[in-house]
């Protein structure tokens, strides 16, 4: 996918969220994605599940254009988001919000950054707001609405570095939501959280899903898969092992193959859980 700076009309609302056609990606001398093919339909909450080293992080970097697929003579290897492989930067940012672990470190480092400034700066793709940027009343309203949607409005006035891990994640999700994106890509959203904090964050994300934002969850924790997510993609060794419904794929046999160990799957209310045997 090529990122352009020229104005680009928005895609049709029924265009697929993500389409990857036989893409291979090298990380150093290693083949991190091996002819990976994947399609996620618009409006289809999806979890991409796999062990460490399965290619999940590489897939995120492929979608966010930090990495590019190997060129192929047959023209395959394309990456399309909402039906397009060429995008205006601001138009894409308004359609696909991204929250990843690296963002947490970036926004909690020095110099100090206030919570509301972190959220409203999402309109400018900057870390905070500078004197040269004009924040409109509409931007302020949308920032407050996003914070309220993720139950983080009470954090305004705090410095990002003083927040707990789950509070930082809420603020970063709000930052992504200010554009009213069609989809939210969540890369290991509960990394570093304890059990209680993880559940609190997941329940907030359920509200985001219910408000119409499609969730694309990247994880190695079965326990993170929200009840609203019905489609699961299983990754191993840079390839899609299986793609299908949650009930079909969150099974002992499928996850044992995916993780290379005996796994027992159970349900705890509306959530699934997995235990190594």
Residue 251 belongs to domain spanning: 2-276
Q: What is the pLDDT of residue 13?
A: 60
Give the pTM.
0.91
Token couple for 181: 């994106």
Q: What is the pLDDT of residue 201?
A: 94
Sign of CA dihedral 190, 194, 200, 202: positive
The pLDDT of residue 258 is above 90: yes
Q: For residue 5, name the pLDDT band (cuts at 50, 70, 90).
A: very low
The pLDDT of residue 175 is above 50: yes
Buried b (16+ CB within 10 A) or exposed e, 140-177: eebbbebbebbebbebeeeebeebebbbbbbbbbbbbb
For the stretch 91-111, pLDDT in tens is: 777 899 999 988 988 999 989
Do residues 23 and 69 lie in contact, with contact meaning Cβ atoms separated by under 8 Å?
yes
For the stretch 186-226, pLDDT in tens is: 999 998 899 999 999 999 999 999 999 999 999 999 999 99
CA distances to 201, 211, 212, 228 from 47, rounded to whole Å, are 16, 18, 16, 10
Do residues 224 and 187 lie in contact, with contact meaning Cβ atoms separated by under 8 Å?
no
For the stretch 42-63, pLDDT in tens is: 999 999 999 999 999 999 999 8
Query: What residues contact 122, with CB distance under 8 A and at least 6 apart?
Result: 143, 175, 176, 178, 179
Q: What is the pLDDT of residue 6?
A: 39
Q: For residues 237-265, give the mean pLDDT.
A: 97
CA distance 273 to 266: 5
For the stretch 151-173, pLDDT in tens is: 999 999 999 999 999 999 999 99
Q: What is the pLDDT of residue 125?
A: 87
Considering only CA atoms, give the Rg of the chain: 19
Q: For residue 132, name the pLDDT band (cuts at 50, 70, 90).
A: confident
How much of the chain is helix, strand and coil, in % rounded to 5? 35, 30, 40
Q: Which helix (H) or strand (E) holds 3?
A: strand 2-4
Arithmetic mean of pLDDT over the chain: 91
Q: For residue 9, name the pLDDT band (cuts at 50, 70, 90).
A: low
What CATH number is given to the structural domain containing 201? 3.40.50.300
Q: Provide the number of structural domains found in the chain.
A: 1
Q: What is the pLDDT of residue 107?
A: 94
Q: For residues 142-156, give the mean pLDDT.
A: 96
What is the β-pairing status of strands 30-40 and 214-219?
unpaired
């Amino acid at each position: 996918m090529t990122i352009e700076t020229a104005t680009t009309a928005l895609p049709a609302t029924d265009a697929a969220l993500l389409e990857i056609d036989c893409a291979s990606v090298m990380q150093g001398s290693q083949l991190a994605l091996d002819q990976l093919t994947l399609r996620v339909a618009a409006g289809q909450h999806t979890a991409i599940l796999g062990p460490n080293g399965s290619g999940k992080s590489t897939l995120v970097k492929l979608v966010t254009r930090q990495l590019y697929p190997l060129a192929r003579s047959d023209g395959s290897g394309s990456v399309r988001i909402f039906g397009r492989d060429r995008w205006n930067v601001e138009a894409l940012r308004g359609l696909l919000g991204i929250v990843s672990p690296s963002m947490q470190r970036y926004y909690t480092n020095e110099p100090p950054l206030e919570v509301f400034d972190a959220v409203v700066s999402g309109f400018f793709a900057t870390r905070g707001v500078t004197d040269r940027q004009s924040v409109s009343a509409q931007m302020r309203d949308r920032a407050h609405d996003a914070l309220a949607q993720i139950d983080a409005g009470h954090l305004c006035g705090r410095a990002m570095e003083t927040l707990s891990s789950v509070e930082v994640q809420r603020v970063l999700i709000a930052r992504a939501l200010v554009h009213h994106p069609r989809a939210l890509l969540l890369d290991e959203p509960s990394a570093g959280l304890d059990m209680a904090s993880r559940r609190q964050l997941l329940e907030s994300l359920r509200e985001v899903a219910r408000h119409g934002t499609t969730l694309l969850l990247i994880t190695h924790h079965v326990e993170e898969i929200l009840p609203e997510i019905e489609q699961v993609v299983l990754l191993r060794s840079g390839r899609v092992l299986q793609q299908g419904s949650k009930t079909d794929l969150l099974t002992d046999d499928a996850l044992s193959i995916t993780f290379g160990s005996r796994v027992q799957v159970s349900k705890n209310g509306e959530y699934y859980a997995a235990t190594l045997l």
